[in-house]
Amino acid sequence: MGQLGKSYSIIDQILGHLVNVLYLRRTLMPLAMHISKKNQIIAEGLYEKGWIIMDDYINEEFRDSLLKEQQDILRHGQFRHAGIGKGDSFAIKPEIRSDKVFWMEEGELSPMQESFWKKMEALREKINQRCFLGLRSFESHFAMYPPGSFYLRHLDQFQSVAYRMVTVILYLNHGWKEEDGGALRIYFPDENGIEKGLDIYPVGGRLVCFLSGEIPHEVMTTKKERISITGWFRNID
């Protein structure tokens, strides 16, 4: 091949690379904008009423990958019985809550957990922009409710965890139906100031977000294994 032919070959490679880059940008940008729009709607819902439900927050592939990771952690016996309270006041009381959890440690995240963490970071920034809550950090765990388990009415923000400002729950279940039970029941005042309850079923890909210190809630008895990631945006580092 002559010098001119080599030059054309290099140019062709460069042009091919540019075409690929432009294609990826055209393909991925609508998705990124879509996620940003969802985060904006969530932030607006928190600002207006203190809670919001967003279906299909993540796609099926990501939901399935997170679910498989949870199942792998469970098989390795790394889940622990959840309790109530914090520090010296921590106690396991199955008459109040009977789920099991696996805490994610920020410095020890798997690639899949890291991807989830980045999504939550983008949501944290959007909530701060709209709600001015001063959210600075995030903590999270996988939660598994075996059949027959529940969690009685409570608030996520109490004296020993006053730094929890916003609760985020992402459901990972596959094919959930109302007859499976396990609804998250949240309580909030209606337009007349009268408390009402709303049952939110743990449909896979659904994200629920609410103010930790203002929305009492409970998990109704589930009839089959119920999987989620629960997290809290905090006003501390």
Q: Note the pLDDT tens digit of each residue in 198-226.
A: 999 999 999 999 999 999 999 999 999 99
Which residue range forms the structural domain that includes residue 199? Answer: 36-234
Within a domain: 130: yes
Please write the tens of the pLDDT for every residue from 87-101.
Answer: 888 899 999 999 999
205 in a structural domain: yes
Residue 158: its pLDDT value, please?
86
Token pair 């920020």: residue: 106
Instruction: Classify residue 96 by burial, with Cβ atoms within 10 Å: 0-12, 13-18, 19+.
Output: middle
Q: How far apart are CA 74 and CA 71, in angstroms?
A: 5
Half-sphere exposure of 26 (CA within 13 A, CB side): 6
Q: pLDDT digit string (tens) for 123-135?
A: 999 999 999 999 9
Asked whether residue 19 is assigned to any structural domain, the reply reads no
**Cross-strand pairs, 3:** none
Prediction pTM value: 0.85
- Residue 210: inside a domain: yes
Low-confidence stretches of the chain (pLDDT < 70) are 1-33
> How many domains does the chain fold into?
1
Check which CATH number belongs to the domain holding 224 and give it: 2.60.120.620
Residue 10, domain member (yes or no): no
